[in-house]
Amino acid sequence: MFYGHIGAALIAKPLAPKVSVGVMLVAATAIDTLCGIFTFAGMEWVNTTTGESSLPWSHGLFMSIIWSLLTLGIAWLITRNWKMSIVIAGLVFSHWVLDFISHPMGMGKVMPKDLPLLFEGSPKVGLGLYTYLVPALISEFGLLLGGIYVYLRTTRPTDRTGKWAFAILIFVLALFPLSMFLPQKIGFIATFITLIFLPLGIWMERHREYVSFKGKD
């Protein structure tokens, strides 16, 4: 799942209006970014042909909880606001929850479970929604479209740039599937693309303002 995580970040905007959507997008995709880092370091690996993998440091339940708690602490130190911090940390952990529902990412094929509960050698879990292609596509793009709706419903542009900034974000998202054509040995590089969400989201929200559902005409 990729677009589903993006959708979750956009849907969370009304929960913490003062948090930049750039921060939310990075939080929601942080587990994948960590996966790229650990793959680069040789600590994790994925065989896209067989579906076999070793992802204890990024996608393990135990470490996902640790990353979420670490995010909570850092967010609180920066914001001194528990609600904002909980939303940001919650987005980090939402990644594991959505992956638990969707993994393994068979997209129509049966593949081995890939989410360890603890570390290497521990039981792996995953409900396997993405074993079935149609439910996979519906959930993936359903969450994304839901996120786009909520974000556009609760924010509005303050100038001409604000009108186009969100379209630029969608364009960047549309390019992500091109990463599937990268050789397997460097495919992990695609996960670092998520880091562009931070400056892009901060820039975008300098030209948009938050409004509640009730305040939207």
Q: Which helix (H) or strand (E) holds 206?
A: none
| Per-residue pLDDT reduced to its tens digit, 60-91 | 999 999 999 999 999 999 999 999 999 999 99
Query: Burial letters for 39-55: b for 16+ Cβ neighbours within 10 Å, e otherwise?
Result: beeebbebeeeebebbb
Strand, helix or coil at 29? coil
What pLDDT, on the 0 to 100 scale, is given for residue 105? 80
| Per-residue pLDDT reduced to its tens digit, 30-59 | 998 898 889 888 898 887 777 788 899 999
Q: What percent of the chain has pLDDT over 90?
A: 56
Q: Band the pLDDT of 217: cuts 50, 70, 90.
A: very low
| Per-residue pLDDT reduced to its tens digit, 139-174 | 989 999 999 999 999 999 999 898 899 888 888 888
* CA distances from residue 173 to 59, 61, 127, 160, 189 in whole angstroms, order as listed: 22, 27, 26, 21, 15
The amino acid that residue 207 corresponds to is H
As given in the structure block, the two tokens for residue 96 are 């594991």
The pTM assigned to this predicted structure is 0.88
**CA gap 23, 56 in Å, rounded:** 24
Torsion angles phi and psi, residue 210, rounded to 5? -85, 140
Domain ranges of the chain: 3-209
